Structure formats: structure tokens, C-alpha cells
Amino acid sequence: MDLEKKLIEYFEWFHRNPELSYEEYKTTDKIREILANAGVEILPCRLETGLVAVVRGKQKGPIQALRCDIDALPVREETGLPYASCQKGKMHACGHDLHTVLGIGCALLLQKRKEELSGSVKIIFQPGEESSLGALKILETHVIDDIEMIWGIHADPTNDAGVLGIRQGYVSAAVDRFAITVKGVGCHGAHPDDGVDPILTAAAIVQALQSIVTRNVNAFHPALLSVTRIEAGNTWNVIPEKAFLEGTVRTMDREDRILFEKRVGEIARNTAIAYGAEAGMEWIAGCPAVYNDEEMVSKSIRAANKCGFKVVPEESSMGGDDFAFYEEKIPGCYMKVGTGKGQTIHQPGFKVDESVILPTAVYLAELLLG
């Protein structure tokens, strides 16, 4: 069986057998089996799920890494594919099955071309990216301590097969979460004057929070705040004692990220005071913004041109990726792989054009050899 058929077979296996964050046991075992059979070295990292392989070149050179995430999403598949998910309510709706097989393909190609490889390449099959914190599991192993640069890829259904999205600078946002608890005084719905309404207070907080983007952040800086959940009360004729709301903040600029944490807390507390209530805010920091190194971008474009890919400017996204945690340690470059235009990621109809698999694996091997 030729390499393309093998990689498509592996891809379809991973697609049929999705596993959620930190549950990727069968996925890890399958990756290990494929790589071990090909003689690819697997490092002895202390990971419950996920693994790190290495291909050591015959010549001296840099130590590089390729990050490939492996987890799926709690989404019910609606693609109608013959190799659709066998796991009810679970699906590779973000393309991590593609990322996994591209890492495998790259490893197999590099293994065959070790004589040409300068330095070493570590292929990181990372668990839990959808948790936004899976990269920290890899960092805890210290496997990247000697790595000089790291590459990342992501499926992109907004571009045709054969297209790579690459650009220098920020390409995805820092992802943070806030949770606000409002405490009022409960009372009968017919006598609001006997209490302090936390729902009214929460509504005022929601409105006021939007002023951060429009009045506190530089108009040329990408930033957003979304309140995505509100809970209060349990019946129609009682004003409750408490209300709860939470949401997400997305920023590119580091100073803006600090500003949002400060202002969300201030607005929540002071708006509550204005309504006679109390409010407390919890800030749950996620991954920072992804930033593409200028020299690595130039190298990735040269390799793309050599391999016959069309290169377009990568769209910046307010979505996040924990790839950014690696970039706090070392330079990185995160590229988008066109998978054929169709339903967007995280949706039940998302699918990948299988024709992209071998050419992209060849591209990644060429990039890492160069």
C-alpha cells in the first residue's frame, strides 16, 4: 500500500474513533503503534494521553517541533461520510484527526530522509487542546526545553484544498473567561421595594461591560467581550437573592488583556453598588495570543512555494489555541491548511477533503528538512 492510501486509512480510523480531551487513550495507542512499526523513536514522556516522537537527523542542526493536537469535540456528526464517527455525540469537528495524520505522515517521511535532516524534529501529539490547557501537559514534561522553534497547523474550511494561510504577527486571540456573582435581597415579585433585584443589576452589568471595548480599548486593537450565560431565580413571582453571569474576553494585545481583567471587576462591583447590590468577579485565564515569528513565516512560505501550494494571508481570528503557551518559551509559526470550503469548524457538518493529506504531509517534511 502506498503512503497516500495508508495516511487516508489512518485518517478515517481516527475520524471514526474520536475521543474527548484527556480521554485520548485509543488514539494515543494507535499513533504509537503506527510510529513504532515504522521505527520512529517515541520519547518516554510522563503523559496519560498523547505522546512525543522524535526523528534524529544525521547532520548537526536545530531542534525543531511540530505540534499536532489529537482530541475531538462533544458534537454529534452530521456529515453522512462512510467513515463517520462511531462514538455517539463525539466528533472530530475541528480537524484534529487531520492534524494527527499529518504529524504521522511527516514523521514517516522524515524517518526515510534522516540522512538529509539537519538536527532533530520532535512531533508532539498533544492531548486536550479543546480544553485550552492541553499544551501545559506537554510543558510539564520539559520535552520542549531544548527545542529552538515550533510549528503548528490547523484545518481551515474557509479555503480550498491546496491553499495554505500564512501571515506574520498575531493570528489568534488570548482567551479568558470571567464569572460574576451578583448578590441582592430576595423578595416577592409584587413588592420589589422590599428587596434588591440582582437580575436588574446583572442586566446593567451586561450593558456596562460592553463599554470596555468601545471606550477603554484602542480602536485599532482587536478585542471583544461576550456575556454567554446568565442564571437567576427559579419561579415567576419571586425576585431571587442571587444572579450569575459569565462570558469570555478575547484580546491580541497583552496590555489590553490586563486592562480587561481590571475593568470587568471594577464595572461589576461598582455597578452593583449603584443598584444597592454586591458583586464579585472571578477571572479564569486561558491561553495567550498566537504570534507568528517573521523568519519562520518566510521559511514556511518558501517551502509552500516549492511544494506547489498557493499561499494566502492567514485570517486573524478571535478564536484561541493553546499553541500560544509554547510560544511563551520559543518562537513559533501557526499555519492554516485549506481543507475545501464547507461548514466551519466545531459544526456537525465539518469535513476534510482527503486530497490534502499527502501533499500537506510532504510540505511539512520539506519545511522541517529545510
- Residues belonging to the binding site for Mn(2+) are 94, 96, 130, 154, 346
Q: Let me know: does 165 contact 100? Beta carbons within 8 Å.
A: no
For the chain, how big is the Rg over CA atoms in Å?
Answer: 23
Q: Which three cell numbers stand for residue 264?
A: 470587568
Q: Let me know: does 290 contact 170? Beta carbons within 8 Å.
A: yes
CA nearest neighbour of 230 among 257, 204, 251: 204
How many angstroms separate the CA atoms of 25 and 88, rounded?
A: 17
Given the C-alpha cell 485509543, which residue does it identify? Answer: 26
CA angle 337, 2, 305 (to 5 degrees): 35
184: helix, strand or coil: coil
How many angstroms separate the CA atoms of 56 and 183, rounded?
A: 59
Extract the annotated binding site: 94, 96, 130, 154, 346
How many angstroms separate the CA atoms of 241 and 222, rounded?
A: 37
How many angstroms separate the CA atoms of 125 and 127, rounded?
A: 7
CA nearest neighbour of 311 among 207, 204, 164, 194: 164
Q: Which three cell numbers stand for residue 141?
A: 514534561
CA angle 316, 319, 324 (to 5 degrees): 85
CA-based torsion, 368, 353, 161, 344: positive or negative: negative
Burial string for 268-302 (b: 16+ CB within 10 Å, else e) reads bbebbeebebbbebeeeebbbbbbbbeebbebbbe
* Phi and psi at residue 244, to the nearest 5°: -135, 135
Q: What CA–CA distances, in Å, run from 299 to 75, 247, 308?
A: 36, 38, 14
